[in-house]
Chain A
Amino acid sequence: MKVIDPHIHMVSRTTDDYLALAYGGIHTVSEPSFWPGFDRCGVDGFRDYFQQLTVVEPARAARFKIRHFCWIGLNAKEAENTKIGEQVLAILPEYLDSPTALGIGEVGLNKNSKNEIAMFERQVELAAVRNELMLIHTPHLEDKLKGTRIIMDILRNEPRIIPSRVLIDHAEEHTIGEIKDNGFWFGLTLYPDSKGSPARAVDAIEIFGADKLCINSSADWSVSDPTATLKTVNEMRRRGHPDDLIRRIFYDNPADFLGQSPKFSVA
Protein backbone atom coordinates (compact mmCIF):
# COMPACT_ATOMS: atom_id res chain seq x y z
CA MET A 1 0.00 0.00 0.00
CA LYS A 2 1.45 3.35 -1.06
CA VAL A 3 0.70 6.28 1.22
CA ILE A 4 1.26 10.05 0.95
CA ASP A 5 1.65 11.95 4.22
CA PRO A 6 0.56 15.52 3.45
CA HIS A 7 1.51 16.91 6.88
CA ILE A 8 4.73 15.82 8.55
CA HIS A 9 7.57 17.87 10.08
CA MET A 10 10.66 16.06 8.89
CA VAL A 11 13.06 18.79 10.11
CA SER A 12 12.27 17.43 13.58
CA ARG A 13 12.75 13.77 12.69
CA THR A 14 15.78 11.54 12.44
CA THR A 15 17.18 10.00 9.29
CA ASP A 16 16.00 6.65 10.68
CA ASP A 17 12.47 8.02 10.38
CA TYR A 18 13.02 8.66 6.66
CA LEU A 19 14.05 5.04 6.41
CA ALA A 20 10.88 3.95 8.25
CA LEU A 21 8.76 6.00 5.83
CA ALA A 22 10.51 4.45 2.84
CA TYR A 23 10.07 0.91 4.23
CA GLY A 24 6.39 1.59 4.92
CA GLY A 25 5.60 2.84 1.41
CA ILE A 26 5.38 6.55 2.28
CA HIS A 27 7.36 7.87 -0.69
CA THR A 28 5.83 11.35 -0.94
CA VAL A 29 5.47 13.86 1.91
CA SER A 30 4.62 17.52 2.36
CA GLU A 31 5.93 19.56 5.25
CA PRO A 32 4.22 22.73 6.47
CA SER A 33 6.12 25.56 8.17
CA PHE A 34 5.38 25.54 11.88
CA TRP A 35 6.50 26.56 15.36
CA PRO A 36 9.82 24.98 16.40
CA GLY A 37 8.92 24.72 20.09
CA PHE A 38 10.39 28.14 20.89
CA ASP A 39 9.90 31.64 19.49
CA ARG A 40 12.56 32.69 16.98
CA CYS A 41 14.39 35.91 17.88
CA GLY A 42 14.37 37.43 14.41
CA VAL A 43 13.54 37.08 10.75
CA ASP A 44 16.89 35.39 10.07
CA GLY A 45 15.71 32.40 12.10
CA PHE A 46 12.82 32.07 9.66
CA ARG A 47 15.16 32.44 6.69
CA ASP A 48 17.26 29.54 7.94
CA TYR A 49 14.12 27.49 8.52
CA PHE A 50 12.68 28.19 5.05
CA GLN A 51 16.07 27.29 3.55
CA GLN A 52 15.94 24.02 5.45
CA LEU A 53 12.41 23.33 4.14
CA THR A 54 13.06 24.21 0.51
CA VAL A 55 16.63 22.94 0.04
CA VAL A 56 17.93 20.74 2.85
CA GLU A 57 14.94 18.43 3.46
CA PRO A 58 14.23 17.62 -0.21
CA ALA A 59 17.87 16.53 -0.53
CA ARG A 60 17.74 14.54 2.71
CA ALA A 61 14.55 12.81 1.58
CA ALA A 62 15.93 12.06 -1.88
CA ARG A 63 18.54 9.75 -0.35
CA PHE A 64 15.63 7.42 0.41
CA LYS A 65 13.79 8.01 -2.87
CA ILE A 66 11.23 10.08 -0.95
CA ARG A 67 9.84 13.19 -2.63
CA HIS A 68 9.61 16.12 -0.22
CA PHE A 69 7.38 19.19 -0.71
CA CYS A 70 6.77 22.07 1.68
CA TRP A 71 4.43 24.88 2.64
CA ILE A 72 5.66 28.36 3.55
CA GLY A 73 4.01 30.57 6.15
CA LEU A 74 4.06 32.34 9.50
CA ASN A 75 2.59 30.04 12.16
CA ALA A 76 0.01 31.33 14.65
CA LYS A 77 2.19 30.65 17.72
CA GLU A 78 4.64 33.34 16.60
CA ALA A 79 2.00 35.83 15.45
CA GLU A 80 1.97 37.78 18.70
CA ASN A 81 5.35 39.35 17.87
CA THR A 82 4.02 41.54 15.09
CA LYS A 83 7.36 43.28 14.51
CA ILE A 84 9.08 40.04 13.51
CA GLY A 85 5.83 38.86 11.93
CA GLU A 86 5.79 41.76 9.49
CA GLN A 87 9.35 40.99 8.44
CA VAL A 88 8.48 37.33 7.93
CA LEU A 89 5.44 38.20 5.80
CA ALA A 90 7.73 40.27 3.58
CA ILE A 91 10.03 37.32 2.78
CA LEU A 92 7.32 34.69 2.20
CA PRO A 93 7.00 35.31 -1.60
CA GLU A 94 10.71 34.63 -2.11
CA TYR A 95 10.34 31.14 -0.63
CA LEU A 96 6.90 30.47 -2.11
CA ASP A 97 8.65 30.73 -5.48
CA SER A 98 10.84 27.73 -4.73
CA PRO A 99 10.20 24.65 -6.91
CA THR A 100 8.93 22.43 -4.06
CA ALA A 101 6.76 24.98 -2.19
CA LEU A 102 3.12 24.03 -2.77
CA GLY A 103 1.43 26.98 -1.09
CA ILE A 104 0.89 28.89 2.15
CA GLY A 105 0.80 26.83 5.36
CA GLU A 106 0.41 25.89 8.00
CA VAL A 107 -1.22 29.14 8.95
CA GLY A 108 -4.30 29.73 11.06
CA LEU A 109 -5.01 30.28 14.74
CA ASN A 110 -3.72 28.99 18.07
CA LYS A 111 -5.58 30.76 20.91
CA ASN A 112 -7.87 32.88 18.69
CA SER A 113 -6.24 36.21 19.59
CA LYS A 114 -6.46 39.50 17.70
CA ASN A 115 -2.85 39.42 16.48
CA GLU A 116 -3.19 35.81 15.33
CA ILE A 117 -6.26 36.81 13.33
CA ALA A 118 -4.51 39.84 11.82
CA MET A 119 -1.49 37.79 10.70
CA PHE A 120 -3.74 35.07 9.32
CA GLU A 121 -5.80 37.58 7.34
CA ARG A 122 -2.63 38.97 5.79
CA GLN A 123 -1.64 35.50 4.62
CA VAL A 124 -5.11 34.80 3.24
CA GLU A 125 -4.71 38.01 1.24
CA LEU A 126 -1.31 36.83 0.00
CA ALA A 127 -2.79 33.47 -1.03
CA ALA A 128 -5.57 35.27 -2.90
CA VAL A 129 -3.16 37.59 -4.73
CA ARG A 130 -0.78 34.77 -5.68
CA ASN A 131 -3.47 32.12 -6.19
CA GLU A 132 -1.73 29.81 -3.71
CA LEU A 133 -3.10 26.63 -2.16
CA MET A 134 -3.58 26.89 1.61
CA LEU A 135 -2.98 24.44 4.44
CA ILE A 136 -4.71 25.64 7.59
CA HIS A 137 -3.76 24.90 11.20
CA THR A 138 -6.74 24.92 13.55
CA PRO A 139 -6.29 25.44 17.32
CA HIS A 140 -6.10 22.48 19.64
CA LEU A 141 -8.42 21.29 22.40
CA GLU A 142 -10.92 23.77 23.84
CA ASP A 143 -9.97 26.44 21.28
CA LYS A 144 -10.57 24.33 18.18
CA LEU A 145 -14.28 24.85 17.56
CA LYS A 146 -14.19 28.62 18.01
CA GLY A 147 -10.98 28.97 15.98
CA THR A 148 -12.20 26.80 13.12
CA ARG A 149 -15.30 28.97 12.82
CA ILE A 150 -13.32 32.23 12.85
CA ILE A 151 -10.93 30.84 10.22
CA MET A 152 -13.80 29.77 7.96
CA ASP A 153 -15.46 33.19 8.30
CA ILE A 154 -12.23 34.89 7.19
CA LEU A 155 -11.78 32.52 4.25
CA ARG A 156 -15.40 32.88 3.15
CA ASN A 157 -15.09 36.66 3.25
CA GLU A 158 -12.32 36.56 0.64
CA PRO A 159 -14.07 35.82 -2.67
CA ARG A 160 -10.79 35.01 -4.43
CA ILE A 161 -10.25 32.01 -2.12
CA ILE A 162 -11.73 28.85 -3.60
CA PRO A 163 -12.66 26.39 -0.81
CA SER A 164 -11.52 23.32 -2.77
CA ARG A 165 -8.00 24.81 -2.80
CA VAL A 166 -7.88 24.99 1.02
CA LEU A 167 -7.33 22.13 3.47
CA ILE A 168 -8.42 22.79 7.06
CA ASP A 169 -6.29 20.52 9.19
CA HIS A 170 -6.53 18.95 12.64
CA ALA A 171 -10.30 18.58 12.22
CA GLU A 172 -12.13 16.53 14.85
CA GLU A 173 -15.61 15.11 15.35
CA HIS A 174 -17.16 18.47 16.27
CA THR A 175 -15.63 20.48 13.40
CA ILE A 176 -15.67 18.13 10.38
CA GLY A 177 -19.33 18.68 9.50
CA GLU A 178 -19.04 22.48 9.29
CA ILE A 179 -15.79 22.28 7.30
CA LYS A 180 -17.39 19.94 4.77
CA ASP A 181 -20.55 22.06 4.56
CA ASN A 182 -18.37 24.98 3.50
CA GLY A 183 -16.66 23.00 0.72
CA PHE A 184 -13.14 22.92 2.19
CA TRP A 185 -10.92 19.85 2.35
CA PHE A 186 -10.40 18.56 5.89
CA GLY A 187 -7.41 16.88 7.48
CA LEU A 188 -7.47 14.33 10.30
CA THR A 189 -4.32 14.26 12.41
CA LEU A 190 -3.21 11.20 14.34
CA TYR A 191 -1.71 11.88 17.75
CA PRO A 192 -0.43 9.00 19.88
CA ASP A 193 -2.15 10.06 23.08
CA SER A 194 -3.41 13.62 23.31
CA LYS A 195 -6.03 13.95 20.55
CA GLY A 196 -7.01 11.74 17.59
CA SER A 197 -6.36 7.99 17.27
CA PRO A 198 -6.40 5.68 14.22
CA ALA A 199 -9.67 4.16 15.46
CA ARG A 200 -11.40 7.56 15.74
CA ALA A 201 -10.02 8.64 12.36
CA VAL A 202 -11.58 5.56 10.75
CA ASP A 203 -14.84 6.26 12.62
CA ALA A 204 -14.81 9.76 11.07
CA ILE A 205 -14.21 8.30 7.60
CA GLU A 206 -17.19 5.99 8.08
CA ILE A 207 -19.46 8.77 9.33
CA PHE A 208 -18.38 11.62 7.02
CA GLY A 209 -17.20 9.73 3.92
CA ALA A 210 -13.96 9.85 1.95
CA ASP A 211 -14.54 13.05 -0.05
CA LYS A 212 -12.07 15.90 0.39
CA LEU A 213 -10.35 14.14 3.28
CA CYS A 214 -6.62 13.71 3.98
CA ILE A 215 -5.08 11.77 6.86
CA ASN A 216 -1.74 12.85 8.29
CA SER A 217 0.67 12.08 11.11
CA SER A 218 1.70 15.70 11.76
CA ALA A 219 4.78 14.09 13.31
CA ASP A 220 7.05 16.73 14.82
CA TRP A 221 9.42 17.29 17.76
CA SER A 222 6.80 16.31 20.34
CA VAL A 223 5.21 12.93 21.13
CA SER A 224 4.17 11.81 17.64
CA ASP A 225 4.55 8.96 15.19
CA PRO A 226 5.75 9.32 11.57
CA THR A 227 4.18 5.98 10.66
CA ALA A 228 0.77 6.80 12.18
CA THR A 229 -0.82 6.85 8.71
CA LEU A 230 0.24 3.23 8.20
CA LYS A 231 -1.37 2.26 11.52
CA THR A 232 -4.60 3.82 10.30
CA VAL A 233 -4.37 1.88 7.04
CA ASN A 234 -4.10 -1.20 9.21
CA GLU A 235 -7.15 -0.20 11.28
CA MET A 236 -9.19 0.12 8.05
CA ARG A 237 -8.03 -3.30 6.89
CA ARG A 238 -8.88 -4.84 10.27
CA ARG A 239 -12.41 -3.51 9.97
CA GLY A 240 -12.75 -5.01 6.51
CA HIS A 241 -12.71 -1.88 4.36
CA PRO A 242 -11.72 -2.62 0.75
CA ASP A 243 -8.26 -1.83 -0.60
CA ASP A 244 -9.55 0.58 -3.25
CA LEU A 245 -11.18 2.74 -0.55
CA ILE A 246 -7.97 2.67 1.50
CA ARG A 247 -5.93 3.65 -1.54
CA ARG A 248 -8.31 6.48 -2.29
CA ILE A 249 -7.99 7.94 1.21
CA PHE A 250 -4.26 7.56 1.73
CA TYR A 251 -2.96 8.09 -1.80
CA ASP A 252 -5.46 9.43 -4.36
CA ASN A 253 -6.97 12.06 -2.06
CA PRO A 254 -3.70 13.71 -1.00
CA ALA A 255 -2.45 13.46 -4.59
CA ASP A 256 -5.63 15.24 -5.75
CA PHE A 257 -5.38 18.01 -3.17
CA LEU A 258 -1.63 18.60 -3.47
CA GLY A 259 -1.77 18.08 -7.24
CA GLN A 260 -3.71 21.31 -7.59
CA SER A 261 -0.23 22.84 -7.46
CA PRO A 262 1.56 22.32 -10.79
CA LYS A 263 4.77 21.82 -8.79
CA PHE A 264 3.51 18.58 -7.25
CA SER A 265 4.18 15.09 -8.55
CA VAL A 266 4.22 11.73 -6.79
CA ALA A 267 7.30 9.60 -6.28
Chain B
Amino acid sequence: MIKNKQQLPIPLSSSQILDMSFLENRARLLEIAAFIDRIERSADPDTGKADFRYKSFIEGVRLLLDDSAAVKTSRIQINFSDPTTEPIASAIKLKAHGAWSGETNEGY
Protein backbone atom coordinates (compact mmCIF):
# COMPACT_ATOMS: atom_id res chain seq x y z
CA MET B 1 0.00 0.00 0.00
CA ILE B 2 2.71 2.46 1.03
CA LYS B 3 4.66 1.30 -2.04
CA ASN B 4 1.91 2.40 -4.43
CA LYS B 5 1.80 5.80 -2.80
CA GLN B 6 5.41 6.60 -3.66
CA GLN B 7 5.94 9.31 -6.27
CA LEU B 8 9.69 8.78 -6.54
CA PRO B 9 10.42 5.20 -5.50
CA ILE B 10 13.38 4.70 -3.20
CA PRO B 11 16.21 3.26 -5.31
CA LEU B 12 17.24 0.79 -2.61
CA SER B 13 16.33 -2.80 -1.81
CA SER B 14 15.22 -3.67 1.70
CA SER B 15 18.57 -5.33 2.45
CA GLN B 16 20.39 -2.22 1.30
CA ILE B 17 18.22 -0.18 3.68
CA LEU B 18 19.10 -2.60 6.48
CA ASP B 19 22.80 -2.37 5.63
CA MET B 20 22.63 1.40 5.68
CA SER B 21 20.41 2.04 8.68
CA PHE B 22 20.04 -1.03 10.92
CA LEU B 23 22.71 -0.12 13.46
CA GLU B 24 21.58 3.47 14.00
CA ASN B 25 17.96 2.38 14.41
CA ARG B 26 18.91 -0.49 16.72
CA ALA B 27 20.58 2.15 18.90
CA ARG B 28 17.44 4.31 18.76
CA LEU B 29 15.29 1.38 19.88
CA LEU B 30 17.59 0.82 22.85
CA GLU B 31 17.34 4.53 23.71
CA ILE B 32 13.56 4.22 23.82
CA ALA B 33 13.75 1.11 26.00
CA ALA B 34 16.19 2.82 28.35
CA PHE B 35 13.93 5.92 28.54
CA ILE B 36 10.98 3.76 29.61
CA ASP B 37 13.17 1.82 32.07
CA ARG B 38 14.45 5.10 33.51
CA ILE B 39 10.93 6.28 34.30
CA GLU B 40 10.29 2.89 35.90
CA ARG B 41 13.41 3.32 38.08
CA SER B 42 12.46 6.85 39.18
CA ALA B 43 11.25 7.67 42.69
CA ASP B 44 7.66 8.02 41.45
CA PRO B 45 7.07 5.94 38.31
CA ASP B 46 3.28 6.06 38.66
CA THR B 47 3.27 9.83 38.33
CA GLY B 48 5.25 9.62 35.12
CA LYS B 49 3.06 6.90 33.72
CA ALA B 50 -0.04 9.01 34.36
CA ASP B 51 1.47 11.96 32.45
CA PHE B 52 -0.21 12.74 29.11
CA ARG B 53 3.18 12.73 27.37
CA TYR B 54 4.02 9.24 28.61
CA LYS B 55 0.59 7.93 27.65
CA SER B 56 0.89 9.41 24.16
CA PHE B 57 4.35 7.95 23.83
CA ILE B 58 3.24 4.44 24.76
CA GLU B 59 0.30 4.73 22.36
CA GLY B 60 2.83 5.70 19.67
CA VAL B 61 4.87 2.57 20.46
CA ARG B 62 1.70 0.51 20.15
CA LEU B 63 0.95 2.07 16.74
CA LEU B 64 4.43 1.10 15.63
CA LEU B 65 3.43 -2.54 15.98
CA ASP B 66 -0.04 -2.13 14.48
CA ASP B 67 0.07 -3.57 10.99
CA SER B 68 -3.25 -2.00 10.09
CA ALA B 69 -1.49 1.37 10.26
CA ALA B 70 -0.30 1.58 6.66
CA VAL B 71 1.78 4.72 7.09
CA LYS B 72 3.08 4.48 10.63
CA THR B 73 4.88 7.82 10.67
CA SER B 74 1.81 9.93 9.99
CA ARG B 75 -0.35 7.79 12.31
CA ILE B 76 2.11 8.45 15.12
CA GLN B 77 2.22 12.17 14.24
CA ILE B 78 -1.58 12.34 14.46
CA ASN B 79 -1.48 10.45 17.76
CA PHE B 80 0.58 13.31 19.25
CA SER B 81 -1.62 16.05 17.72
CA ASP B 82 -4.34 18.27 19.17
CA PRO B 83 -7.51 16.95 17.47
CA THR B 84 -9.64 20.02 18.24
CA THR B 85 -10.53 22.68 15.69
CA GLU B 86 -11.45 25.80 17.71
CA PRO B 87 -8.91 28.58 18.39
CA ILE B 88 -7.71 28.83 21.99
CA ALA B 89 -8.47 32.00 23.97
CA SER B 90 -4.87 33.06 24.51
CA ALA B 91 -1.36 31.72 23.91
CA ILE B 92 0.24 33.74 26.70
CA LYS B 93 2.64 31.61 28.76
CA LEU B 94 1.76 28.47 26.76
CA LYS B 95 4.28 26.30 24.98
CA ALA B 96 4.17 23.14 22.93
CA HIS B 97 4.87 19.89 24.80
CA GLY B 98 5.05 17.44 21.91
CA ALA B 99 1.85 15.65 22.92
CA TRP B 100 -1.70 16.87 23.40
CA SER B 101 -2.66 17.39 27.04
CA GLY B 102 -6.31 16.62 26.37
CA GLU B 103 -7.55 20.02 27.48
CA THR B 104 -9.71 21.64 24.85
CA ASN B 105 -8.99 25.22 25.86
CA GLU B 106 -5.79 25.91 27.73
CA GLY B 107 -6.24 29.64 27.38
CA TYR B 108 -7.73 30.44 30.75
Contact = CB atoms under 8 A, between A and B. Distances in A.
Interface of A: 79-80, 110-117, 139-146, 149-150, 172-174, 199-200, 203, 205-210, 238-241, 245
Number of contact residues on B: which range applies?
Answer: 35 or more
Most A CB atoms within 10 A — which of B78, B87, B99?
Answer: B87
Contacts of B12: 239-240
Contacts of A139: 96
A174 B9 contact: no
A113 B85 CA distance: 11
Interface string B1-17: 01001111111100000
B98 interface: yes
Contacts of A150: 85, 87
Interface string B55-84: 000000000000000010110011011111
Given A142-B81, A206-B8, A206-B10, A114 B88 contact: yes
Contact of A141 (B21, B71, B85, B97): B97
Contacts of B91: 79-80, 110-113, 115-116
A111 B83 CA distance: 13
A113 B90 contact: yes
The 8 closest A-B pairs by CB, nearest first: A209-B7, A111-B91, A174-B77, A240-B11, A113-B91, A141-B96, A145-B81, A173-B74
5 contacts: A114-B89, A141-B96, A173-B73, A174-B74, A209-B8
Nearest to A81: B92
Contacts of A239: 10-12, 20
B54 interface: no
Contacts of B87: 112-114, 116-117, 150
A32 B81 CA distance: 26
Q: Is the interface of A mostly helix, strand, loop or mixed?
A: helix
B80 A141 contact: yes
Contacts, number: 99
B42 to A, nearest CB: 23
Contacts of A208: 7
A144 B99 CA distance: 11
Given A111-B96, A139-B96, A142-B98, A173 B84 contact: no
B51 to A, nearest CB: 14
B1 to A, nearest CB: 12
A140 B5 contact: no
B73 A142 contact: no
B33 interface: no
Given A142-B97, A145-B81, A146-B84, 19 more contacts: A111-B88, A111-B94, A111-B95, A112-B87, A114-B88, A114-B89, A116-B87, A142-B81, A142-B82, A142-B96, A142-B98, A145-B82, A172-B77, A173-B77, A174-B74, A206-B7, A206-B9, A207-B7, A241-B8
A241 B11 contact: yes
Nearest to B85: A146
Contacts of B83: 146
Contacts of A172: 77
A115 to B, nearest CB: 7
A85 to B, nearest CB: 13
A141 B20 CA distance: 28
Given A80-B90, A141-B98, A142-B98, A199 B6 contact: no
